[in-house]
Structures are given as structure tokens and as C-alpha cells.
Chain A
Amino acid sequence: MTSSVAEIPTPPPAPSSPQGSAASGRRRRLGAGNSLAAKGEPMVWLTGGALALAVAMIVCLLVYVFCQGIVTFWPVPLTHAKMGDGTVLMGEQTRAEWYRLDDTAIKQLPPEVQLAAQAAKKAGEGLVHRRLLRTGNFDLTGTHFHWINDFAIETETTPRNAMVVERLEKGRFYGTPKSITIAGKNLVTANGSEDNAALDEIWQAFVEHHDTVVARRDEIEHLEKHVLGIESARETNARLEMRGEEIVHGLESEEYVKAEAHFQQVRAEVEKRTVEVRQAAEKLKAQNRGFLVTMTTAQGVEKNIDLADIVRMYPANNLSLTEKWSLYFSRWWEFFFADPREANSEGGVWPAIIGTLTMTLAMALAVVPFGVLAALYLREYAKSGPITSAVRIAINNLAGVPSIVFGVFGLGFFCYVMGASIDELFYPANLADNNPVYGKGAVIWASLTLALLTVPVVIVAAEEALAAVPNSMREGSYACGGSKWQTIRRIVLPHAMPGIMTGTILAMARGAGEVAPLMLVGAVKLAPELPFSMGDWSGSLGPIPTGPIHFDRSFMHLGFHIYDLGFQSQNSEAAKPMVFTTTLLLIAMVAGLNLMAIWLRARLRKRFVSGGF
């Protein structure tokens, strides 16, 4: 301002006109200053709006998943509906919607409800309301769900004594108990669905005996799966040993004969033991068969259900709030810690949690040393030049390669080249058995594939962390006579550690959420055995024992689980709640990792903040 005033005095002849022009010039400037573009307000709105939109989208997604996931396990009342055409349905309402009902559809309806349909359509201005009832009883009706139109309902009740039965197989059962048999003896028989006293007695008897039956069922499962599993593994190992001797020494050799004799001995032992175990299991099963409850469906069909087949049974319309909460939490508990049932659409995700954690941690173990060493070389040793720049660009581009490409590479290189080589070297017998150990999808190859995928993230983060170490620190160390490596190890690395940790955790979060490449290198719909099992210390990677970690096993993964439940399930409507809860769990895990990164960074950074003056 002052400088422009200072320049005005260079006087053209007429003193008044320059005054005017200067003034008008100033006015023009003011005008320009008033324009929207100059003020910058619209840019504030534009940029702020973009941010708000992005945040809103993310928040909406999270809130939707959270709400859907959190209510899934809350017990819903049982609706008993008597329809206008005389049919009866009973089930849990899963969702409701308004839809457009056209006239041809009305004509196809039973004649009794056509009038009601037309009335409802008129009232709803073309739209009618309907609800999706989970009616269960798949073994009787062949379907899990029924849509019911509100107008087609004659009477709707919530019967006090109706029960929800979650079964091990064939999904849920809805009905009213008729009688209960305990240890082969009929204990109580209800006189119709209104006989509250008898029905309560049945309920009490169920609660009393269900736990013991379940304990027996667990014992049977332990015997049949675990004990027999160990036995059959023993037999397999002996057979593989024999196979190995055959490959190395030939059929005629002394070693083979010895191994064969050993195998025969083991087989005899295993057979004997198997018979014993089966007998024990059979005994328990026979005991359990004496416990059953007879149910009557809403349609009046009777059905016997073994107590051993029941996961839980509850009177949905006769629950106190405490009972509801305990049911809710027991379902979450089951979700976290139980094995999946019914093509993954019921039960829990424990194997998927273990699989995801094992895979992610193994990935971190592989990716961190490589990433940090690479970053150290790039930042501390490499002279800056075209080659270094090219390498940096290549690393950044690597981060942009579609993940499925890494999956294909992992399958081609890790499984079929490295895995096959390991098999040839250390497991020739398995290979001869046509049963590769490492030459197939395995948790180790999945980890290494994801390590490749995330190594750019770690390198970039570690490089930035190293660059942020003040040069004065390095100089101080050099001036004390520190060598390059001493300086890096004692000064640079500790100082860069928070940044490196953050990068690592972010890479882990990225890896934990990845699905596409995993489908090629080891993630499966249902894994028979866990990749990490404290009960089985037989893991090995070639000649190296790995204890409870079984790197050769395929595994279940939460991300793949979501895909499988949501899009590959036979009964997708029933699997939908699991999709939301699993998604919620995966998001929570990734968010947890990120929070840990933030916390760790804050904590470590405190060490490097100067006390000041």
C-alpha cells in the first residue's frame, strides 16, 4: 500500500485526473477483492464439502455395519400368523419392506385374500407391506423363509410357549414342546400348547439335563475327532516312513522290511485302539439317545429332536430381559469361540480368527526385516542417483500392482516352485503318495505372498522414519567415533522405531483385510485343522520343527469367510447376519491394529521429545 502511494507523485500534467485514475484503480482492486474467487470462500466450501462427503460415506458404512452386526444376535419374538387362506406360519421376523403389488399378482392370490389385497394396495397408494418370516423347520418344509403379506394375515399372535430350537444340523426349528424324554423315560407330556404348567416343567427338565447331554456330546466329538485323529496320524506317519524307505532303499532292502514290520505293528495297534474308542463313543451316544424332546410345529406336525442335537432352546416370547442379555452374549461367545456349522452360516468363526491372526503375524515376521533392511540401504547407504530413484519408483509402483497378481505369482512361485522343492527334498514319501505337504496352498505361502504385497508399505514408512531422524544425531555419533553401522544401530534405528512400527502395523492391517490373493494360495472355505494349535506340536518346515504352528496347512480367513458367506452360501438369507457380524469383527480387528499403531507411536515419540528450556 505505502509503495503504491509513494509512486503516485510522478506527476502527469493535470493533477486532478491522475488522482481520479488512481482512485478508480483502487476501486477496481477492491472490486476484484470482493469477487468470490478472490475471497477463497467457495474453495473453503468445496474442499470442506469434499471432505465432509468422504467422511459421511465412511461413517455411514461403519454405522450400517455396526448396527446390523450388533443387533444380529438379539433374540427376536416368535410370530404366529394364521393366514387368510387357512395356512399357519410361525417364525422370527427378519426384515420387512414395502413393495409394489401389481394386479396380475393379485389375481394369482387365493380368492379369500384378493379383496384384502386390493384394499391394502389402495391404502398404501400402490404399495403393500410384507415381512420376511424365518420359519425354519427345513427338514419338514424344505425352506427356511416365508414372505407374508400383512393383508393376508387373519390373526397374528406371539404364543407364550413357542420355542426356538437352534440345532446342530438343518438350521432352526420352531414349535411348541409336547413331551420330554429323559434317560429313556417320558417325563412330562403337555396337554396342548396352552398347558403352561406342564410346558414349564418340560422347559425346566430341558435346562436341567441339556448341559450333561452336551458334555457327553463334546466327549464324543473329542474321541472321534481328536483321539482318532492322533491314531490315524500315527498310522499315516508309519506308512509314510515305509514309503520313504521304499523310495530310498527299494522294496527288497532290510530297512524297508523293518519299516513295513513297524507299520504293520502300528496298524494293528491303531485298529485295536480305534475299536476301543469307537465303542466308548458309541456307549456315550446310546446314553444320549435316551434324551429327546418332542415338538409340535405350528402346522401340527410332531417331531422328535435329540437333546444332543440342540445347541440352545428358548421360549422366545417368554424371556426376561436378563435372559435375553445372557442369550445375546452366549451367541457372541459362540460366534467367537465355536467352529462353524451348516456351511459356515451358523456357529462361530474361531478357525477364521486363528487363521487370520496366524497368517498376519507370520506375514509381519517376514515383511519387517526385509522392509527395514531395504529402507536402511536406500536411505543410509545408497548414493542418490538415477538407479536409486528408479528403485524408489519401482517400489512405489509395486504398491499399486493389483493384489490378485500377487496371488497368481504366489501360487506359481511359492506353491509350485518353492513348495514343490521342499516336498521333493524333505517329504518324498508324501509326494509319492500324491499328497503334497508344502506344494499346495498353505498358510506360509499366503503369508509370504502378502509380505510381498505389503513390503512397499513398510519400505516407504521406514524410509520416511529414517529420513526424519535429525542429522545432528548422526553427526553427534560420528563425531564420537561411531562407525556407520554403530550409528545406525544405536542412534538412527531407535529414533526411527516409532515410524517403522507404525508402518509395520499399517502393513499388517492391510494384509489382514486382503482376500483376493489368499483364495489362490491357501485360504479355504472350511479348514479341517487349525494352522496354530497348542494341542498339536507336530508342525515342521522341512527339517525345522515349528511346534504349534503348522505352516503347511490351509487356513480359514475372515475376509474370505465374508465372501464365502455372502456370495457362495446356499442359504444366503440365513447367512446374512453372519456376514455382518464377521465384517464387524474384521473391521474391529483392523481398527484395533490401527489404534495400536497410533498408541505405540505416541508412546515411543515421548522418548524423543526434548525437555526444552
Chain B
Amino acid sequence: MAQTAVVIDYGSGNIRSVQKSLVEASLLLGSRHTLTVTSDPDVVKQANRIILPGVGAFGSCMDGLKALDGMIDALDEAVIDKGTPFLGICVGMQLMAREGLEHGKHEGLGWLGGRVEAIKPANKALKIPHMGWNDIRLNDTGNKHPVVNSLKTGDDLYFVHSYHLKLDGTKPLLATTEYGGAISAIVGRDNIIGTQFHPEKSQGVGLKFLQAFLRWTP
């Protein structure tokens, strides 16, 4: 039976880019994923895979999720209780944190200990947003992770963000990038993974990563 992967549409950003790249990744895999863009919590509960994209500010993205009646409960049920493989992209990844400090303090999904703070590069000459292609470094956990190790240390991926996820502990950290200090590039635990970069905009390397996510059986 074809697997269903859903992209959650909560009024934020580049849904179409995300959807198209997943379709392409699925084609490259030769798999038969049914890709659906949805705002319906029941569709999310039934999905085999869940993708949460996100561009914009932390608070307004969280408000967008909350505005979909029952969506946060559906995510908790599917991802935390049922263990459905989950990918958060950019702010979609940051929302997994306990809280975000962009334009005031906002509660996140709380799946990962940590908070989302403004990037404060040690080198004041560095521009904010951190925008463009930057190379990542996989740590030991990342190197053993079946999705993360579709990439390798030194691969360039496309980043665009002004805030970053500072984890409480290093355990969920899988890869970092460098921008006036270490930035969490990939985080995750169990069936959850999140990327600060945009795999949907990272050409071939990004498509490789998305294929690995679609194959993943955590």
C-alpha cells in the first residue's frame, strides 16, 4: 500500500516548494508516497509521515498551528504517542523546542529541551539573517543516524534564519554549522528529526536528505 506523507499547511510560507521537493524525492526513490498538503488534524493522525515546514517568526507560526483546531493534539498523538516519523524544517524544526524568544516569549511544542534565541555572532561583521549555503558537520550520533548520514560533513545546504535552536543538552544534536559560533543544523530523537536548513531548496544534496527521510523506519 502506498505510504502517505503529509505536509502541514498552517498558513506559513513555502508549502509548494516543500511539496514539490518531496514529490521529486519520492520519484527518485521509486517509492509510491502519496503527498498531501493538509490543515486537517484527522489527516495528520492517519499519516505515515509528517512534515512541518515553516518560515516566518516563531510566535506567528505557533499561532498558525494553534489556529487549526485540534492540530497540536493531533501532532502530539501521532508523533509522540504513535511514533510517526516527523520532519520539521526551519521554523518547523524550531517549534519542537520548549520556547522561542522571537518577538517576545512563546511556548513551543516542547518535544525537545531547548529554546530558540537570536543568533549573536561573535564576529560583528557577520550579517543577520544567516542567509545562503553553509557547510555542516555531522557529530558521531549524526554519522550513525540513517537520515542524517545521507549527508556528509562538508556538504553545503541552504540556510536562511535569524534565530537558532539552542538545546539544553547535546544529546539531540546531530549536526551543526558554523556562523560566528556553532548553530544547530540537524536535531532529533527517536522518530523526530528537524533541520535548520531548507532541504527543499538545497538542490541535489537536499533531495538526498528528503529521500532518506521518506525511507526512514525509526
Real complex partners, A and B? no
Q: Interface residues, chain B, CB within 8 Å of chain A?
A: none
